[in-house]
Structure 1
Amino acid sequence: MSHHLSGPNLRSPRDDARLDLTDLFAFTVPGDRTVLIMNVHPVAPSEGAAFHPDAVYRVNIDTDGDDRADTAFSFVFSPPDGGRQQATVHRADGDRARDHRAGGEQLLAGAPVTRGGEDPVVTATGSYRFFAGLRSDPFFADLDGIVQQFQWTGVDWGADKNVLGIVLELPSADLGAGGPIGVWARVSLLQDGEPVSVDRGAHPSLTAYFNAEEVKDAYNAGEPADDRAGYLAPWTAVLQHTGGYDAQAAEQALSTVLPDILRYDRTEPAAYPNGRSLTDDVTSARLAMVSGGKITSDHIGPHTDFLPGFPYLGTPH
């Protein structure tokens, strides 16, 4: 899947779907604004889905190309009370952005989380817009066909699935003067007051194809700045096996996804791997990569339920 079930043995990290990052999106909208979307909780139930109250959900931004966070937006949630939750959003910059705790400037507090069956509740503060709640899963793929060794079924696995979405929209200038940015998401779980990273990622469908089960926890705990040193050799071996690459061609192919940071030049339209829009066919892109171009598509198109405006994600099923 795109990034669903990213713990060992195709399970959620810590066997807790609330901690499972599913997808990350970064695109611009009119008005010179940047949209960041982080989805979690695969196959979220239509009623009762909740964010983990002891988790720190985070979107990290690298603005100077050194593969380290220069700005980080952290999202934390209250314990569910009668099915209701509230969100608090922090922004951290500089060295504080590299601390996995929720810290820095508090942008907003008490933002309502939208439940299933409700219209999206949007919270605005200054030039920021924020949403969190149940939405339809934008991920599309013929997963059964992939499992059946590429005998396509024509069935979109994600067509009727939901996730919990976190959406932040802000002026593009707040993330630098229009230059490229790098984006990745992380989920940390507070244990004895300390954040322990249990999931992270940016590019779709990496850990499922490239990481052996015994290294997935370590990968989820790691930092993108260490990715090339830790994963270039084993991932090269994967591409040599699955796609017939030689070592040089494999290293070139992996240069897009190692480190696992989604690069986005906002002077160009978002189209994966330059950012990621909700309609980008990332499953076909990854299939083409791992197969060495032998498989170019799973023949499943994007969903059509996206909203034309904020929070962009479709109404939940």
Structure 2
Amino acid sequence: MKRVRLALAAAFMTTAAMASDHLDSPKVIADPRVDIGDIYAWTSSDGRRLNLVMTIVGHAFNKDAEYAFHVDSGPRFPDTTARTDIVCRFASMTQADCLIGRDETIQGDPGKPAGLKSASGRSLLFAGLRDDPFFNNVKGSRDAFDLAAATLKQGVPRDAAGCPAYTPQQTAAILDRWRHTDGGPARNFLAGWTPASIVLSVDLALVNRGGPVLAVWADTTVDDVRIDRMGRPLTGNGLLAHLGSDEEADAYKLAYNEATPETADVFVPVIAKSLALYDGYDGRCGNQLMIDASAPPAQRYTPLAKLLADDRLWVNSASTMCTQLFGVELAALPGGARWRNECGGRTLHYDAVNVYRSLLAGGNNDAVTDGVRADDQPHSDTVFPFLAAPVHTKATYR
């Protein structure tokens, strides 16, 4: 694992798959400076700006890389008609050069917490080390998946769609592993992690040409080659060759990172197989988000698999109420009226890993939990640069 201390490498080789998107393929393991850990996107509390955060696993930026947010906009979910690219390069940690759309530029030292303004004053940038707001009981999750895989090998029956029918005792054992760490209280594996972070607050008029509904994804490229991409938490890291071999997973993740939302349909079949496994983790089959009970078994998981393969983070920028991961998608479903005024997206305070897995396991926010409900540091969804200042550096990249 190039440029990473051996102790950190050993830890992540066994646990990285359970982080949101950290160290998800051999290419990003080779250079953590282009490895996207997480992205966040939400409407500002005054309803005037889109707030964006990209955390990078390495503690520095690659001077040869481009770090980009892509913001598709449209009148309603899932229709988008325009795209605005926000592309940043960093000659050093004290020299940023960002282009927002065609004309908005931000240049200079981005390291002051107050932020670096664009010439027009419509955009604000911070880039530097901050505390990672993502929280996750990695060890408990790994223990749960290992037990689930071992239990499957013992002959757990599956229904026609591939969902495993765990017994109540087996389900209880898996869920118990999930909410503990080494048999004790759940711990956040990423406590104290201090990634390089790109934080932007952008006038909505710069990114909503197509309409108020925004679909956000991010990528890193070097010499026009895409190294990593991400939208929602865990999709690229948790649903490709789920419980398969490391070699299978690496091949899928490399191909997935090279794709775009427009070319990602090829991953629908493998994601659908992973969704079948997730559907059984709460002890019930057929209660996952977007399940069509009337569909043939072979198509049960296709609608959600298509949505997740697209892998964009949806934000209703007409709303400032941001409380629910998948809020925009939920509002578009039958019976989704309660979410109509929800901005969706992802703020720094969403219990993203638990809500994501719960929607996949039981179609609600609380079907499963890893026992960790908040980060160890206080972050802000309203005060720039949002992420808490680093307390200490957990690892050093050279």
Flag whether TM exceeds 0.5 (same fold).
yes
SS at match of 2:212: coil
Q: Secondary structure at the match of 2:87?
A: strand
**Partner Cα separation in structure 2 for residue 89 and residue 217 of structure 1:** 27
Q: Is the 8 A contact 2:125 2:201 kept in 1?
A: yes
Structure 1 residue 265 and structure 2 residue 263: aligned?
no
**Regions of 4+ moved over 6 Å:** none
Structure 2 equivalent of residue 305 of structure 1: 378
TM-score (norm 1): 0.82
Structure 2 letter corresponding to 1:25: Y
Report the more deviating stretch, 241-250 or 130-139. 241-250
Pairing partner for 2:63 from 30, 50, 53: 53
1:155 counterpart letter in structure 2:
R
Residue of structure 1 equivalent to 2:262: 225
Q: Residue 176 and residue 123 in structure 1: after superposition, are their counterparts in 2 closer, same or farther (change >3 A)?
A: same
Q: Does the residue aligned with 1:170 lie in a helix, a strand or coil? A: strand
1:37 matched to 2:57: no
Q: Residue 257 of structure 1: CA displacement?
A: 2.1
CA distance, structure 2, for counterparts of residue 68 and residue 217 of structure 1: 28
1:247 CA displacement? 3.9
The answer (yes or no) to whether the contact 2:36–2:219 under 8 Å persists in 1 is yes
Give RMSD over aligned pairs.
2.3
- Percent identical pairs in the alignment equals 27
CA distance in 2, matches of 1:247, 1:310: 47
- Superposition TM-score, scaled by structure 2 size: 0.66
Does the residue aligned with 2:229 lie in a helix, a strand or coil? Answer: strand
Which amino acid is 1:156 matched to? N
- Which ranges of structure 1 fall in alignment gaps of 5 or more residues? 93-103
- Residues paired across the two proteins, number: 283
| Residue among 56, 62, 70 paired with 2:72 | 62
Residue 197 of structure 1 corresponds to 226
Deviation (angstroms), 1:72 = 0.3
Which has the larger displacement, 214-223 or 280-289? 280-289
Pick closer, same or farther for the CA change 1:106–1:128 going to 2, 3 Å: closer
1:175 lines up with 2:207 in the alignment: yes
Compute the displacement of 1:239 (Å): 1.8
- Residue number in structure 1 paired with 2:23: 5
CA gap 1:209/1:30 in 2 versus in 1, 3 angstroms: closer
Q: Deviations over 1:74-98 (max 9, x none)?
A: 01010x4xxx531100123xxxxxx
Q: Distance in 1 between matches of 2:81 and 2:64?
A: 24
Q: Give yes or no for contact 1:67–1:259 (8 Å, CA) kept in 2.
A: no
Q: Which residue of 2 aligns with 1:101?
A: none
State the alpha-carbon separation in 1 of the partners of residues 371 and 238 from structure 2.
19
Q: Say which one has the larger Rg.
A: 2
Equivalent residue letter for 1:129: L
**Partner of 1:234: helix, strand, or coil?**
helix
Note the 1:1-317 alignment, pairs <5 A.
1-8=19-26, 13=28, 15-31=30-46, 32-41=48-57, 44=58, 49-64=59-74, 70-78=83-91, 80=92, 84-92=93-101, 104-105=102-103, 107-110=105-108, 112-114=109-111, 120=113, 122-125=115-118, 126-149=121-144, 151=177, 152-153=180-181, 154-176=186-208, 179-190=212-223, 195-211=224-240, 212-227=249-264, 229-244=265-280, 246-268=297-319, 269-270=321-322, 271-273=324-326, 274-292=344-362, 295-303=367-375, 304-307=377-380, 308-317=382-391
SS in 1 for 2:238: helix
